[in-house]
Chains A and B, each alone.
Chain A
Amino acid sequence: MRRLPALGPFAPLPVPDHVDTALPGGLAVLAVRRAGEPLVEIRLRIPFGGAAPAAGRLLARTLFAGTASWPAERIAASARAVGGTLDADADADRLQVSGRALAAGLSSLLGTLGGVLTEASYPPGEVALARDRLLDQLRVAGRRPDQLAGAALARRIYPGHPYGSRFADPADLGAVTPADLRALHAAFVRPGGSTLILVGDLDPVAAVQTAGRRLAAWTGVSAGRTPPPVPPLNPGTLLVLDRPGSSRSSLRMAFPAVARGHPDNAALRLANLVFGGYSGSRWTANLREDKGYAYGPRSTVQDLPAGSHLIASAEVAAEHTGPALAETLYELGRMACLPPRRSEVDRARDYTLGSLAVLGMSTHRDLADLAAGLVGAGLPLTYLAEYVERLAAVTVQDVHAAATTYLAPSGAVAVLLGDAARVGRSVAALTPVAIADSRERDFSEYP
């Protein structure tokens, strides 16, 4: 019988050819050359901490809705002429513009973007339209258990913090005026503090020069700042968010975590993979491949500028809720009390190394997103080489220590969205439980 072939020698991760610089107006520019299709990806990351949440989200939807000299149609047509797209997205940390164009259209697309950045006008009709669409989308999100559970966990672990408002408040959205958006733009949408990332079939030096010409009229310093540090997790009861009649349960657990710069980060990321971070993890092997309770249980390390957490998520049928929670607590307890097998740690490490090359750098788009994520964490592209060294040095003992420190079930803050009458008894048999209405805004009174 044939045997599994051995791996060939692993090519070291090349840090791509890039220029990391700043324009005279204060805009940082990272231009990266990647061989591939004749396309260019654009990311523009603008600090947005401190922006009013509802207005911020509406600004992202209307940034390209018109300028003093161009209506929305002309902006779109100008982007489209070079195969381009331009979109914006806002959260509590940043406003991010994401775009793409045929490589020959980079200068044109940056020109279109420059016009918007300097003179976006937020026409009242377009703002009203975008507001209505955003409200409709909130209504749809409000029907999705996965979204509701994620938003409820955010309200529970970030009380009083901007990260706690996953969705814009409908009443706040209704009150935002075009003048508010223009004022927000004037204060926050500025080059100072922002970073432009260009990735693709380009000459980095020439691309920086092009950006300098096309964005020369954009001036000033953004008022955006990093939100205050997130409050520490306050472990307590499992909060059952009652959704009467639901045949599904959505489990969300938050654990403490540390940012990329912290010495424990690499070991924590490997511990996360061993527990629930990929298909070969213990949690997936148990809940999916052994018991068939869940389709895609997953845990991820969420690095946000104001704080990091490890988030574990699973969707299960109502009748499997208690058993799935029991297995989850068992796997977490095993992570905390016993060292992982060497083979588990090696597999998680090799997966991480490979996926940096594969998922991180193998398309223009992935590399642009990776670079934008590093910029958000305040790290240079060369951090990747350093990270590879750190990963290589992690021992089985380091992973066990990280699991004990960060993945202990007693340190978790958890919510479970589901029908309390149906699932409450079995989960209460496993862990202390409090029951709340799933629509409550503030969970701080619950133990």
Chain B
Amino acid sequence: MLGNGLRVVFSPDRAAPVAGVAVAYDVGTRSESPGRAGFAHLFEHLMFQGSVGLRRSAHARCVERSGGSFSGSTHLDHTMYSEVAPANALERLLYLESDRMRGLRLTEASLANQISVVKEEIRTNVLSRPYAGFPWPRLAPVMFGSFANTHDGHGSFADLEAASLADAAEFFDRHYTSRNAVLSVCGDFDPDRVARHVERFFEDVPDRAAPARVDLGEPEPEGGRACYRDPVAPLPAVAWGWRVPDPVGALADFLPHVLLAGLLAAADGGRLVRRLVVADRSATSVTARAGLLGDAFTLRDPSALVFQARMPAAGTADRVLAGAFQEMDVLARRGPEAGELAGVVAQAVAGLLGKTDSVLGRARRLAVFELQRAAPELLGELPALLAAVGPDRVRGAAAQLTPDRCVSIELIPAAGA
């Protein structure tokens, strides 16, 4: 850790001449307050609009000139900035991230421009796309009550248009502090040398306190069903889910739910796929996720196990849910078969390794694991932890996922679809 509280994680791997840098800030769409829906994502765009020593668009050009690529992404509980490039550009990538952690140079023009770009992003990726926001955040208001847990992180156009430079400055001062961030570096580098660069670039980033973390926990819902109309979807769909134990504070109790998602909804033969899609024909596809959006392991409490099924034109949510509850009940009574569970574990492990096979995937995961758990080493431990879950804990988790605790939302397609 540097003197200003910035936490730093290194993971050298000299196999390929490539290096990745990730900076995770502890602010996400669940940090937003009423009237500010979408601000975290808008702010992510503003981080590319010029900083203390860099003009507008200099970040993108500099990374590309170095043969690399960059990205920013806003999640429920964190915002991620990352670059990957040939290893000779590493020092430069560190400079770029340090410069915008030190401060931004925003103008009315660049703010107005990025509000317009974000609105275009929403029109393209959400408003004109069938099933956008399904199941999340469409299921959120049935499962949760607070604004933080239920609102759409894309935000409303009204809130976005109301954003001012003063809002942006306040947001930066509050959330984009060295004590509220983690820097991780992965790939082909000499740790001693790079440690010196990190100190040189980051140690005089002003030391501001991290904001107090807000507890987002809330009582469990007592079941609940809702429906809404998707104006562009051609066919009906249903999503359902249960709250799950705290993925950070109760990891051991959370892990069986990751395996339940695979047991029930693996594309090539999960139990619900065989039951609902192949046998009943009540659904045309079923998928599941331990988590709300994105990665199961980069979310704090509260989280959920969420299923979704696309249905044929004449499909009904009742029929899908009845089949799903029956299959969960069978798992709760008998547990998974040993070979079946071993296959799901192997597939989950291969999935984890697939992500960490890239320096960028590794850098991002390490940054979030340090940020949320102070445990980057968990990255290497997860495969063994998943293998150790065993059928009894899976059965025990399934036994908690009863129909009375389940919440669901039905998507009704556009009229005349």
Residues of A within 8 A of B (CB): 1-11, 14, 34-39, 64, 72-73, 75-77, 79-86, 100-102, 105, 129, 132-133, 136, 139-140, 142-146, 247-248, 278-280, 285, 288-296, 315-317, 346-347, 350-355, 357-359, 361-366
B229 at the A/B interface (Cβ < 8 Å)?
no
B36 at the A/B interface (Cβ < 8 Å)?
no
Taking the closest CB of chain A, its distance from the CB of B379, in whole angstroms, is: 11
- In the complex, A354→B201 CA distance in Å? 24
B381 at the A/B interface (Cβ < 8 Å)?
no
B165 at the A/B interface (Cβ < 8 Å)?
no
Taking the closest CB of chain B, its distance from the CB of A417, in whole angstroms, is: 11
- In the complex, A292→B344 CA distance in Å? 45
Q: Check if B64 sits within 8 Å of A351, measured CB to CB.
A: yes
Q: Which residues of A contact B344 (CB under 8 A)?
A: 80
Q: Name 9 A/B residue pairs within 8 A (Cβ), A-sorted.
A: A37-B353, A37-B356, A38-B353, A100-B350, A136-B234, A280-B65, A295-B117, A296-B121, A355-B68
- In the complex, A8→B87 CA distance in Å? 8
Q: Which residues of B contact A83 (CB under 8 A)?
A: 346-347, 349-350
Interface size class of B (residues with CB under 8 A): 35 or more
Question: Which secondary structure dominates where chain B touches chain A?
Answer: helix
Q: Check if A85 sits within 8 Å of B235, measured CB to CB.
A: no
Contacts known (A1-B53, A76-B269, A362-B359); A11 close to B117, Cβ less than 8 A:
no
Q: Which residues of A contact B310 (CB under 8 A)?
A: 136
B323 at the A/B interface (Cβ < 8 Å)?
no
B85 at the A/B interface (Cβ < 8 Å)?
yes
Q: Check if A136 sits within 8 Å of B357, measured CB to CB.
A: no
Contacts known (A73-B269, A133-B284, A143-B232); A81 close to B342, Cβ less than 8 A:
yes
Q: Check if B66 sits within 8 Å of A350, measured CB to CB.
A: yes
Q: Which of B17, B54, B124 contacts A296 (CB 8 A)?
A: B124
B116 at the A/B interface (Cβ < 8 Å)?
yes
Q: Check if A354 sits within 8 Å of B346, measured CB to CB.
A: no
- In the complex, A144→B124 CA distance in Å? 10
Contacts known (A132-B312, A143-B130, A295-B117); A39 close to B350, Cβ less than 8 A:
yes
Q: Check if B268 sits within 8 Å of A64, measured CB to CB.
A: yes
Q: Check if B92 sits within 8 Å of A292, measured CB to CB.
A: no
Q: Closest B-chain residue to A353, C-beta based?
A: B67
Q: Check if B268 sits within 8 Å of A79, measured CB to CB.
A: yes
Q: Check if B88 sits within 8 Å of A362, measured CB to CB.
A: no
B120 at the A/B interface (Cβ < 8 Å)?
yes
Q: Check if B64 sits within 8 Å of A278, measured CB to CB.
A: yes
Q: Closest A-chain residue to B230, C-beta based?
A: A143
Q: Check if A351 sits within 8 Å of B285, measured CB to CB.
A: no
Q: Which of A143, A144, A248, A358 contacts B69 (CB 8 A)?
A: A358
- In the complex, A50→B417 CA distance in Å? 34
Q: Which residues of B contact A247 (CB under 8 A)?
A: 123, 128
Q: Check if B354 sits within 8 Å of A365, measured CB to CB.
A: yes
Q: Which residues of A contact B57 (CB under 8 A)?
A: 280, 285, 289
- In the complex, A1→B117 CA distance in Å? 31
B84 at the A/B interface (Cβ < 8 Å)?
yes
Q: Check if B277 sits within 8 Å of A358, measured CB to CB.
A: no
Q: Which residues of A contact B312 (CB under 8 A)?
A: 132, 136
Q: Which of A2, A102, A362 contacts B350 (CB 8 A)?
A: A102
Determine which residue in A37, A247, A316, A352 has the highest number of CB atoms from chain B within 10 A of its CB, and name it.
A37
B77 at the A/B interface (Cβ < 8 Å)?
no
B113 at the A/B interface (Cβ < 8 Å)?
yes
Contacts known (A39-B353, A100-B350, A133-B285); A362 close to B65, Cβ less than 8 A:
no
Taking the closest CB of chain A, its distance from the CB of B383, in whole angstroms, is: 10
Q: Which residues of B contact A101 (CB under 8 A)?
A: 350
Q: Check if B69 sits within 8 Å of A36, measured CB to CB.
A: no
B319 at the A/B interface (Cβ < 8 Å)?
no
Q: Report B123-141 CB contacts with A as 1/0, cut-off 8 Å.
A: 1110011110000000000
Q: Check if B284 sits within 8 Å of A316, measured CB to CB.
A: no
Q: Which residues of B contact A6 (CB under 8 A)?
A: 92
Q: Check if A358 sits within 8 Å of B86, measured CB to CB.
A: yes
Question: Which of B48-72 touch A at CB < 8 Å?
Answer: 52-54, 56-57, 60-62, 64-70
Taking the closest CB of chain A, its distance from the CB of B307, in whole angstroms, is: 18
Contacts known (A79-B268, A80-B266, A132-B284); A347 close to B65, Cβ less than 8 A:
yes
Q: Which residues of A contact B174 (CB under 8 A)?
A: none
* Those 3 A-B pairs whose CB atoms lie nearest each other, nearest first: A354-B67, A292-B116, A83-B350
Q: Which residues of A contact B131 (CB under 8 A)?
A: 140
Q: Check if A37 sits within 8 Å of B67, measured CB to CB.
A: no
Q: Check if B268 sits within 8 Å of A36, measured CB to CB.
A: no
Q: Which of B61, B70, B88, B357 contacts A365 (CB 8 A)?
A: B357
Q: Which residues of B contact A4 (CB under 8 A)?
A: 53-54, 62, 92, 95
Q: Closest A-chain residue to B344, C-beta based?
A: A80
Determine which residue in A75, A291, A357 has the highest number of CB atoms from chain B within 10 A of its CB, and name it.
A357
Residues of B within 8 A of A (CB): 15-18, 52-54, 56-57, 60-62, 64-70, 84-92, 95, 99, 112-117, 120-121, 123-125, 128-131, 197, 201, 232-235, 266, 268-269, 274, 277-278, 281, 284-285, 310, 312, 339-340, 342-344, 346-347, 349-350, 353-354, 356-359, 361, 417
Contacts known (A133-B284, A350-B66, A358-B69); A294 close to B120, Cβ less than 8 A:
yes
Contacts known (A355-B69, A359-B69); A279 close to B357, Cβ less than 8 A:
no
Q: Check if A316 sits within 8 Å of B235, measured CB to CB.
A: no
Q: Which residues of B contact A363 (CB under 8 A)?
A: 357-358, 361
Contacts known (A5-B91, A7-B88, A11-B17); A80 close to B269, Cβ less than 8 A:
yes
Q: Which residues of A contact B125 (CB under 8 A)?
A: 295
- In the complex, A1→B201 CA distance in Å? 11
Q: Check if A290 sits within 8 Å of B117, measured CB to CB.
A: no
Taking the closest CB of chain B, its distance from the CB of A322, in whole angstroms, is: 16
Contacts known (A79-B268, A80-B343, A280-B57); A350 close to B67, Cβ less than 8 A:
yes
Taking the closest CB of chain B, its distance from the CB of A87, in whole angstroms, is: 9
Q: Check if B123 sits within 8 Å of A317, measured CB to CB.
A: yes
Q: Check if B53 sits within 8 Å of A292, measured CB to CB.
A: no
Taking the closest CB of chain A, its distance from the CB of B411, in whole angstroms, is: 12
Q: Closest B-chain residue to A141, C-beta based?
A: B130
7 further interface pairs, Cβ-Cβ under 8 Å (given A136-B310, A143-B233, A357-B86): A1-B53, A36-B16, A140-B234, A143-B234, A358-B67, A359-B69, A364-B357
Q: Which residues of B contact A280 (CB under 8 A)?
A: 57, 60-61, 64-65
- In the complex, A37→B11 CA distance in Å? 14
Q: Check if A315 sits within 8 Å of B124, measured CB to CB.
A: yes
Taking the closest CB of chain B, its distance from the CB of A112, in whole angstroms, is: 11
- In the complex, A8→B194 CA distance in Å? 13
Q: Check if B350 sits within 8 Å of A84, measured CB to CB.
A: yes
Q: Check if A354 sits within 8 Å of B95, measured CB to CB.
A: no
Q: Check if B349 sits within 8 Å of A102, measured CB to CB.
A: yes
Q: Closest B-chain residue to A134, C-beta based?
A: B284
Q: Which residues of B contact A86 (CB under 8 A)?
A: 268
Determine which residue in B61, B86, B343, B344 has the highest number of CB atoms from chain A within 10 A of its CB, and name it.
B86
Q: Check if B234 sits within 8 Å of A279, measured CB to CB.
A: no
Q: Which residues of A contact B70 (CB under 8 A)?
A: 279
Q: Check if A347 sits within 8 Å of B61, measured CB to CB.
A: yes
- In the complex, A38→B86 CA distance in Å? 23
Q: Which residues of A contact B99 (CB under 8 A)?
A: 2
